[in-house]
Amino acid sequence: MTLVRLTDVSKHYGSVRALEGVSLEVNAGEITCVLGDNGAGKSTLIKIIAGLHPHDGGSLRIDGEETTLGSPREALDRGIATVYQDLAVVPLMPVWRNFFLGSEPRKGVFKRLDVDFMRRTTRSELLRMGIDLRDVDQPIGTLSGGERQCVAIARAVHFGAKVLVLDEPTAALGVKQSGVVLSYVAAARDQGLGVVLITHNPHHAYLVGDRFVLLRRGTMAASHDRDSVTLDELTRQMAGGSDLEALSHELRRTPGPGTPRD
């Protein structure tokens, strides 16, 4: 089932072309990976799907209905949750408070925060995703980068996301923490969510991805299903392919006078 489909989507800022003719689809229970270096257009693509910036060319369909998202709240209401690289958390607040940040349940005549419910729910929702934290009362700032990413993913799942957009979730993490985060990305997929994984790391993408879209300078350089591309080919295309080969040839040492030749 296709949850989100972009067809020939473009975005211009004045005379600057940020995106041109980009197409992708996000299916329930699948991970679509968007790869590209800095300046490739990944951030602009995220902003369009997240409702921050409207597209000005092509079409965006959500559940088959053509639409233009006017705000992040509208995107959330349509089931699209975005987890940015710089997570929107309050480091000194406990995990459970960050889990419900902006959506705190209240009870009683005086509308007090239902702290017990938030603690219980945070613990149970994290466990449901396979995340076993020592204490949900600890400040979220004391968690590792990978753990904070996992809390954000579990939060999006709990609040009813159908599409989860992840902005470079492993960019600042080591190998072990990256593996932890990718396992929770796969867990979200296995719960039926459609996932968009933005990354510049083809190895991470290939570990979990079902579809791959490569961006270069705001345009689509390639689009593949998993069965139609190998990791080596994906890495070669990500690195620039023929451009990289030309650069390698250009940088090859030229033997000087008296330099022994092979």
Give the three-class secondary structure for 171.
coil
Tens digit of pLDDT for each residue in 108-167?
888 898 999 999 999 999 988 888 887 999 999 998 888 888 899 999 889 989 999 999
User: In this predicted structure, what is the pLDDT of residue 132?
Assistant: 83
C-alpha span between 252 and 262 (Å, rounded): 14
Class of residue 159 by CB neighbours under 10 A (exposed 0-12, middle 13-18, buried 19+): middle
Q: Which residue from 142, 95, 99, 96 is spatially nearest to 116, judged by alpha carbons?
A: 96
Band (pLDDT 50/70/90 cuts) for residue 256 is low
- State mean pLDDT over 92-117: 91
Average pLDDT along the chain: 88
- Per the model's pLDDT, the better-predicted residue between 189 and 171 turns out to be 189
126-140 in b/e form (b: 16+ CB < 10 A) is beebebebeebeeeb
Q: What percent of the chain has pLDDT over 90?
A: 57
Poorest-pLDDT segment among 60-74, 79-93, 168-182, 237-251: 237-251
> Which residue would you say has higher pLDDT here, 252 or 71?
71
Using 50, 70 and 90 to split pLDDT, how confident is the model at 58?
A: very high
Tokens 């591309």 identify what position? 229
Residues 6+ apart with CB under 8 A from 172: 85, 145
The CATH superfamily of 2-92+160-251 is: P-loop containing nucleotide triphosphate hydrolases (3.40.50.300)
Write down the H helix ranges in the chain.
Answer: 42-50, 72-77, 95-99, 115-128, 145-158, 175-190, 202-208, 231-239, 242-251
Bigger pLDDT: 238 vs 203: 203
d(CA 5, CA 66): 9
- Angstrom CA distances, 65 to 60, 155, 262, stand at 8, 26, 64
Rounded to two decimals, the pTM is 0.85
Between CA 192 and CA 22, with CA 80 as vertex, the angle to 5 degrees is: 100
User: What percent of the chain has a predicted confidence (pLDDT) above 70?
Assistant: 91
Q: pLDDT-derived band of residue 39, with 50, 70 and 90 as boundaries?
A: confident
184 neighbors 130 (Cβ within 8 angstroms): yes
CA–CA separation, 140 vs 99, rounded Å? 9
